[in-house]
Structure 1
Amino acid sequence: MLVADRYRLQTVIGRGGMGEVWQALDEVLGRPVAVKLLLNDGADASAEARFRLEAQTSARLNHPHVVGTLDFGSWEDRCFLVMELIDGDSLADELTAGGPLAPERLAQVAQHSAEGLAAAHAQGIVHRDVKPGNLLSDRNGTVRIADFGIARFVDDPSGALTTTGQIVGTGLYLAPERAIGTPASAASDMYSLGCLLYHLAVGAPPFEAPTATALLYQHVDSPPVPPHQRGAALPPAFETYLLSMLAKKPEERPTARQAADWFAGGAWRGAPEPLPPERPAAFPSQGRETQQTGGGRSGGQGRRRAPEQRGTGSSRRRGAPARAAVTPTPAPASGAGDGGWNTSVHRVPPRRPGLRSSLRRHFGVAAVVGGAALFALALLVGMAFF
């Protein structure tokens, strides 16, 4: 069957509520493509509008982790959408075939998915239906986001409900704010991605219930069971970050850009932070100290060396070998350059006070005592006179 005189349909590779997806050949360019045909049974009056919105939305995104849109049109009263053909399976098929994913593969899925969502969010697009069936993986393991059929723009005034009153999206991965009727946001996509990663890690979604209402209540009120308690072997850092994506409050979740960078950097392995660079040794070599005793140092620099002088003394008390003391060197008459005299980094023995200093100290004490006595005498005379 030839669609629009160009796309030769070959094999059905998927079916959904809105249409069916065929593997096809673009006979004009000679390349394989995927053609999505809208069902024409008229069951949903808004299906064509949503189908057209998917084409317009995905066409705005040109990113290696988003399935690209190549063409859109109408054929025999049926809309068709031509997309890139991904040679691989969905993550739902990968989970069914191999069970829970290993941490390395799960981190790759997380990074690629977050990269695609970050590109969509940067364009003001919210996917609203992040689930394993909408993430496609090629033969090299590269993950791409597909099916923007129910995506909406952030500035779209429409609410989170369809005309029939049903919440748009898949209940197993629905964010709490959407469960109570709040419009979807970028943070809602991140919650859905967290539920998806939890499902791929454990083999089951974080919340399950026999009825849709009970499931929505769990999203709103129940904390998720940590994955390791359900048999998942995730590094602690990975598990902590995954649980942060499942936070009940949207503002407490990481953004898609933050999540992509976090998983790309390998922090999920829980590796320790790199050590700070080594600091230089506390005491320079003897040869360098000798050079620093020259006359080119300023007085301020000499004072900054004082802690090292005290450190040398304490080293001597702890049993470190003593160094020869160097006496101060007189400065030139002009006093320029070093504030009047220069000192080395070695501790100099303190000088004993001389006779003149002792006399000055005793004279000062006597003067203070005499002044206090005269003040007291004057006070008594004044009081007697009064």
Structure 2
Amino acid sequence: MLVAGRYRLVSPIGRGGMGEVWRAADEVLGRAVAVKLLLGDQADASATARFRLEAQTAARLSHPHLVAVFDFGAWEDRFFLVMELVEGQSLGDLLAAQERVHPEQVARIAGEAAAGLAAAHRQGIVHRDIKPGNLMLDADGSVKIGDFGIAQFVDDPSTALTTAGHIVGTSLYLAPERALGRTADSASDMYSLGCVIYQLLLGKPPFTSDTATATLYQHVDTPPVPLRQRGVDISAAFDAYLLGLLAKKPEERPTAQQVSDWFRTDAWRGRAEPLPAPKPASRRAPSPTRSTAPARVSPAAAPPAPAGPSTYRLPQPTGRRRSTASRSAPARRRSTREAIRRRPRVASAIAGTATFLAAVYLGMVLFSPDSSSADTPSPTPSGPASQGVQDGQGGQDGQDGGDDRSGGQGEQDHGRPDSHEREDDERDD
């Protein structure tokens, strides 16, 4: 079968409620491609316009984790989309082969899928149909996200559900805001990715029910059970981050770029995230007690001195500086050291002075005459009388007179004639 006179369908790859995918050969360029034939009516002008717009937008995307879109059009009243052929399996096939996926592989898948979504979100494209069947693993195990733009006009809230008891489309991975009929945005893709990660680790999505409607109610109202409580061996950091992806409010979910960056580190293992590179220290205005800026030490620009005593800091070795304030720093350091060396000598001098004053005061108290002798003026001996006292004559006369007072008086009586006799002898000479 030749589609649009160019793409020869070789073998079916898969079939779903929205269409079928074929392996095909591009007979013009001679390469293998994937052709998806969509269910729809070409007469629906609005559907055709939306499909064309989304196909053109997806064709502009180029990223290692996005399936490239090559062509689109209509053939025999059916839409078709030509995409990059991914030789591998989908995550749906992986889950069918093994119930649970190892956390190491899940972390790699999550990081690569988030990186692809981040590239689409930067272009203003919302996938709207993130599920295991749309996440492919190539031969090297790398993630490829496919089917961009299809969910926008096929997976509509009015057509996502069929009769009761049947789950079709993306109800297992539908964000709460979409279940409420609101417009999908990039946060809706992140919620769907969180549901896929949850299923890879546990083997089933976070919310399941007998009907699609009941499942949608759980997306809106029921909080997800942490995986560690369900026996999944992951770190507490991984568990908490996944619950953040499944937040009910879109603004509380991390962005695709944040998720990609987070899984590229070892944070999901429970280890600390690498610290960001330190920012260069900003130069702040120096405090008034420091004189580092020349503008602050100049008289014209100096602020008024604060009231009260100033405080100073001991100078620190900060290297050579050319400001006026820094040239005075050595003098202040020398004066500070000299003041510190003089402190013991000053203290000794003060202590000696205090001791001397105390001794003088004590001597005055001990050797001053008492109050009884202060009233009687003491006799002032003359020179010869004093000489006599020094020679012990006063003591001799005192013994003859009977007491010290009479002896002293007798010395004075005998001393006066002696002085007159000497004066007479001098006159005779």
TM-score after normalising by structure 2: 0.62
Structure 2 CA distance for partners of 1:275 and 1:121, relative to 1, 3 Å: closer
1:126 aligned counterpart, secondary structure: coil
Moved more, 89-98 or 117-126: 117-126
Moved more, 51-60 or 117-126: 51-60
Structure 2 CA distance for partners of 1:209 and 1:46, relative to 1, 3 Å: farther
Q: Which residue of the partner structure matches residue 331 of structure 2?
A: 339
Q: Which residue of the partner structure matches residue 55 of structure 2?
A: 55
Q: In structure 2, how many angstroms separate the alpha carbons of the residues matched to 1:276 and 1:138?
A: 34
Mapping of 1:119-198 within 5 angstroms? 119-152=119-152, 161-162=157-158, 170-198=170-198
Structure 2 CA distance for partners of 1:152 and 1:3, relative to 1, 3 Å: closer
Q: In structure 1, how many angstroms separate the alpha carbons of the residues matched to 2:211 and 2:159?
A: 22
Moved more, 212-221 or 64-73: 212-221
1:195 aligned counterpart, secondary structure: helix
Moved more, 256-265 or 209-218: 209-218
**Once the 2 structures are TM-superposed, how far is the Cα of residue 162 of structure 1 from its aligned partner?**
4.1
| 8 Å contact kept, 1:54–1:151 | no
Structure 2 CA distance for partners of 1:169 and 1:149, relative to 1, 3 Å: farther
Q: In structure 2, how many angstroms separate the alpha carbons of the residues matched to 1:43 and 1:93?
A: 35
Q: Which residue of the partner structure matches residue 67 of structure 1?
A: 67
**Once the 2 structures are TM-superposed, how far is the Cα of residue 128 of structure 1 from its aligned partner?**
1.4
Q: Which residue of the partner structure matches residue 236 of structure 1?
A: 236
| 8 Å contact kept, 2:42–2:48 | no
**Once the 2 structures are TM-superposed, how far is the Cα of residue 165 of structure 1 from its aligned partner?**
9.0
Question: Deviations along 1:222-248, whole A, 9 cap, x unmatched?
Answer: 111111222221122111111110111
Q: In structure 1, how many angstroms separate the alpha carbons of the residues matched to 2:315 and 2:122?
A: 56
Q: Which residue of the partner structure matches residue 302 of structure 2?
A: none
What is the root-mean-square deviation of aligned Cα atoms in Å? 3.6
| 8 Å contact kept, 1:50–1:150 | no
| 8 Å contact kept, 1:131–1:192 | yes
Counterpart residue type for residue 29 of structure 2:
L
Mapping of 1:1-16 within 5 angstroms? 1-16=1-16
2:224 aligned counterpart, secondary structure: coil
Percent same amino acid at aligned positions?
A: 60
Question: Deviations along 1:119-170, whole A, 9 cap, x unmatched?
Answer: 11111121111111111110111111111244449xxxxx964479989961
Q: Say how many residue pairs are matched.
A: 302
Counterpart residue type for residue 147 of structure 1:
D
Counterpart residue type for residue 86 of structure 2:
I
Q: Which residue of the partner structure matches residue 89 of structure 2?
A: 89
Structure 2 CA distance for partners of 1:43 and 1:94, relative to 1, 3 Å: farther
Q: In structure 1, how many angstroms separate the alpha carbons of the residues matched to 2:263 and 2:276?
A: 23
1:83 aligned counterpart, secondary structure: strand
| 8 Å contact kept, 1:160–1:168 | no
Q: Which residue of the partner structure matches residue 350 of structure 2?
A: 355
Structure 2 CA distance for partners of 1:42 and 1:340, relative to 1, 3 Å: closer
Q: Which residue of the partner structure matches residue 316 of structure 2?
A: 304
Gaps in structure 2 of 5+ consecutive residues: 278-311, 318-326, 355-429
Counterpart residue type for residue 339 of structure 1:
A
Structure 2 CA distance for partners of 1:76 and 1:106, relative to 1, 3 Å: same
**Once the 2 structures are TM-superposed, how far is the Cα of residue 350 of structure 1 from its aligned partner?**
5.0
Q: Which residue of the partner structure matches residue 366 of structure 1?
A: none
Q: Which residue of the partner structure matches residue 246 of structure 2?
A: 246
Largest Rg, 1 or 2: 2
TM-score after normalising by structure 1: 0.69
Q: Judging by fraction of residues, say which structure has more helix.
A: 2
| 8 Å contact kept, 1:57–1:151 | no
